[in-house]
């Protein structure tokens, strides 16, 4: 029987760095959504039932709510504006390293996304009873060696 280890419970915000620049801290935790993409293979002899499921891809999306509003809005703005200049732009060429470091001293594992892409989806929360926040969304792309994400010992 395994024993209970409370150090396995990770709680709290993270410091976020993107393309070597510190973006600040998250309001709370970060959502890392991992979606596997598969295709079922079947044959006539299996009466349409799958005989094999093949992995065709993986999608990792990282969503966070940031406290440093101006720093993070600047990532989405062009000279303080949102314009149509990015229409047709190759966003995949703009990716960079995303590093998530837990603020809690009891958590000694961070996450490194070597080729993360800042998505153009964002929410700016102008709250009346709490600090304003900006929600950022990144997609992890494979780097030249195929790595999407790696754990980092702190």
Kindly report the CATH number assigned to the domain that includes residue 89.
2.30.110
How much is the pLDDT for 126?
85
How much is the pLDDT for 3?
76
Q: Are 100 and 111 in contact (CB under 8 A)?
A: yes
The DSSP symbol for 76 reads: H
Distance CA 24, CA 83 (A): 25
CA distances from 133 to 6, 16, 26, 83, 119 (A): 30, 14, 9, 22, 17
* Domain assignment present for 114: yes
* Domain assignment present for 112: yes
How much is the pLDDT for 7?
67
Tell me the pLDDT tens digit for each residue of 92-150. Answer: 888 999 999 999 888 889 999 999 999 988 888 888 888 889 999 999 999 999 999 99
Helix H or strand E encompassing 74:
helix 69-76
Domain of residue 69, residue span: 9-153
3-state secondary structure of 26: strand
**Into how many domains does the chain fold?**
1
* Domain assignment present for 3: no
Tell me the pLDDT tens digit for each residue of 3-18. Answer: 777 667 777 899 999 9
* Domain assignment present for 4: no
Distance CA 26, CA 1 (A): 37
How much is the pLDDT for 97?
97
Residue 38: name the closest of 50, 29, 48, 28 by CA.
50
Tell me the pLDDT tens digit for each residue of 8-48. Answer: 777 789 999 999 999 999 998 899 999 999 999 998 888 88
Mean pLDDT of 59-78: 89
How much is the pLDDT for 81?
78
How much is the pLDDT for 128?
82
* Domain assignment present for 129: yes
Does the pLDDT at position 75 exceed 90?
no
Does the pLDDT at position 71 exceed 70?
yes
């Amino acid at each position: 029987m395994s024993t209970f280890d409370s150090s396995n419970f990770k709680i709290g915000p993270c410091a976020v760095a993107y393309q070597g620049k510190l973006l600040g801290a998250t309001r709370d935790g970060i959502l890392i959504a991992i979606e596997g993409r598969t295709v079922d293979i079947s044959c006539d002899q299996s009466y349409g039932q799958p005989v094999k499921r093949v992995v065709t891809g993986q999608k990792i999306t990282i969503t966070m709510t940031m406290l440093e509003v101006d720093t993070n809005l600047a990532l989405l703005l062009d000279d303080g504006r949102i314009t149509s200049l990015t229409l047709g732009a190759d966003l995949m060429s703009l990716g960079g390293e995303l590093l998530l470091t837990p603020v809690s001293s009891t958590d000694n594992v961070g996450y490194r996304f070597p080729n993360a892409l800042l998505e153009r989806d964002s929410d700016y929360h102008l709250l009346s009873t709490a600090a304003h926040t900006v929600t950022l969304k990144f997609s992890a792309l494979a780097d030249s060696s195929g790595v999407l994400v790696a754990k980092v010992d702190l």
